[in-house]
Structure 1
Amino acid sequence: MIQQILKDRPTKLFIGFAAFFVANALIAECIGGKIFSLEKLFGFDPVNLTLFGQSGLSFSLTCGVLLWPLEFVMTDIVNEYYGPKAVKRISYTAVALISYAFIMFYASIHIPYADWWPASKANQGVPDMQVAFNGIFGQGMWIILGSLVAFLVSQVVDVFVFQRIKRATGEKKVWLRATGSTLVSQLIDSFIVLTIAFKLGSNWTWAQVIAVGCVNYMYKFTIAILLTPLIYFAEARIEKYVGKETAIKMKKAAMER
């Protein structure tokens, strides 16, 4: 039985997608505590936008956004070849394992450290290792909750929009269903996470939520458009790996699920 699974290329491909999907999501959550300046990354000054009465806005983004676009690309690819049930399965698996990881982070923060463990690395700019450890792995519960809820809801929306567009267009216009579903789901994701993490968790005003959400969505919108060719590249590689006839059968079966 296991030998048949390991020899079946569509099965191996799905296992690879699922593993990378979960790992990518977990890494994105872990590095999400750091905020970076997109403008400074490319050598520009902050743009200082003013939206909804909120001034001084710039593209200050969580490092997690570097990886999340890949999640939605993979979502569309899995949806195309394996169907919505497969997307939901890997999404639920990702949420469950991320939740498990944060439980382990929480436990490790509160476990007493050994006497010989270096409590300080002042020569490296870290005066208190325990505080540094807590700061990296101890993200606020509202942020964790907001991120997980936003991820799960946006995945479900992405699947729904993708399938609706595909049923309307058939096998044509891959770019429309892939990019269109991502643009809709990312819009929802942007505002859900801010509402839960900062409106409920930090008493932000609605003006702050909407203003920051719009700035974040500008970035996500642009990345979604730029990554569209990646869908075509991935489809070409998949067709080459499993064979054209098998790829056609996979797409047909995905529509029936």
Structure 2
Amino acid sequence: MEFTNRAQKLFLILSCFFVANAVLAELIGVKIFALEDTLGVSPFNWNLFGQQGSLNFTAGTLLWPVVFIMTDVINEYFGRRGVRMISWVAVFLILYAFLFAFLAIALAPASWWVTVGADKGVPDMQAAFAQIFGQGLWTIGGSVTAFLVGQLIDVTIFHAIRNRTGGKHIWLRATGSTLVSQFFDSFIVLYIAFVIGPQKWPIGLWLAVGCVNYAYKVLAAVALTPVIYGMRRGLDNWLGKDLSTELKAKAAQ
């Protein structure tokens, strides 16, 4: 299939990046990293709601800023329908990826493969594979639900601000929609995965970790504002003034 229209090419490229990053964020999110140790600084030791800890995040947070940018750019040029469509596609492919991960875990491992990593500190490759890719159903359910709710809220807030400002103040609709949507995302995923899930987190811990995660997303959204302006300027030049104006007008409807 040949994509001759630049709008089609743009939507295809943005959708591929969006979906790929969403799926990758879910798969690598099983790793928890210490931000202070990674940066080589002293532990922050936050104290919220009677809870204390360091700045620990899932590795998936490395990719979510890219998802934020893709969401805002697709919102800008392809509107509600574009964001909703790729959000549902992303959810389907995330579930599809986990389905085959579980099927791969269930396959009987070759006897020689189980111990092939012993000299590298991995005595049981099957157990390691199952631990990494076999995320709990509560975690998967919470993550997918939070992602979908966040995306639907994001697109609603984005266009509400756009309609009120008449297409001006890109920073306001891009950052504002992210701040609102990620507030819900940050707390929904933790509530489903860890409060009502098997671990039964106390409410104080849920609120504390949720606030720390949300604070990170707020900083990321603000820091990425210049990137969104830069992408918009570059895409306007690539699409041409007429096509760019037409896409934005349709997206705003």
Identity of aligned residues (%): 50
Residue 21 (1) aligns with residue 7 (2):
no
Letter in 1 for 2:139: I
Residue 109 (1) aligns with residue 105 (2):
yes
Counterpart residue number, 1:186: 182
Q: Deviations over 1:71-125 (max 9, x none)?
A: 1211111011001011000000000011011000001101112344353421111
Counterpart residue number, 1:11: 8
Q: CA deviation at 1:216?
A: 0.9
Q: CA deviation at 1:136?
A: 1.1
What does 1:207-226 align with in structure 2 at a 5 Å threshold?
207-226=204-223
Q: Deviations over 1:179-201 (max 9, x none)?
A: 00001111111000010000011
**What runs of 5+ residues in structure 2 fail to find an aligned partner?**
none
Counterpart residue number, 2:87: 91
Q: CA deviation at 1:132?
A: 0.8
Letter in 2 for 1:182: T
Q: Cα–Cα, structure 1 residues 122 and 116, in superposed 2: closer, same or farther, change >3 Å?
A: closer
Q: What SS does the corresponding residue of 1:7 show, helix, strand or coil?
A: coil
Counterpart residue number, 1:35: 32
Query: Which one of 228, 231, 241 corresponds to residue 228 of structure 2?
Result: 231
Of the structure 1 ranges 108-117 and 217-226, higher mean CA displacement relative to structure 2 is found in: 108-117
Letter in 2 for 1:43: G
Counterpart residue number, 1:137: 133
Letter in 2 for 1:109: I
TM superposition score normalised by structure 2: 0.97
Q: CA deviation at 1:29?
A: 0.6
Q: CA deviation at 1:70?
A: 1.2
Residue 60 (1) aligns with residue 56 (2):
yes
Task: Indicate if the aligned counterparts of 1:153 and 1:189 stay in contact, CA closer than 8 A.
Answer: yes
TM superposition score normalised by structure 1: 0.95
Letter in 1 for 2:65: P
**What runs of 5+ residues in structure 1 fail to find an aligned partner?**
none
Which portions of structure 1, spanning 4 or more consecutive aligned residues, are displaced by more than 6 angstroms?
none
Letter in 1 for 2:137: M
Residue 247 (1) aligns with residue 241 (2):
no
Counterpart-to-counterpart distance in 1, 2:59 and 2:113: 29
Counterpart-to-counterpart distance in 2, 1:99 and 1:118: 27
Q: What SS does the corresponding residue of 1:172 show, helix, strand or coil?
A: coil
- Paired residues, what number? 252
Task: Indicate if the aligned counterparts of 2:88 and 2:148 stay in contact, CA closer than 8 A.
Answer: yes
Task: Indicate if the aligned counterparts of 2:17 and 2:70 stay in contact, CA closer than 8 A.
Answer: no
CA RMSD of aligned residues (A): 1.0
Counterpart residue number, 1:159: 155
Q: Deviations over 1:155-181 (max 9, x none)?
A: 000000000000000121000000000
Task: Indicate if the aligned counterparts of 1:58 and 1:215 stay in contact, CA closer than 8 A.
Answer: no
Counterpart-to-counterpart distance in 2, 1:244 and 1:43: 47
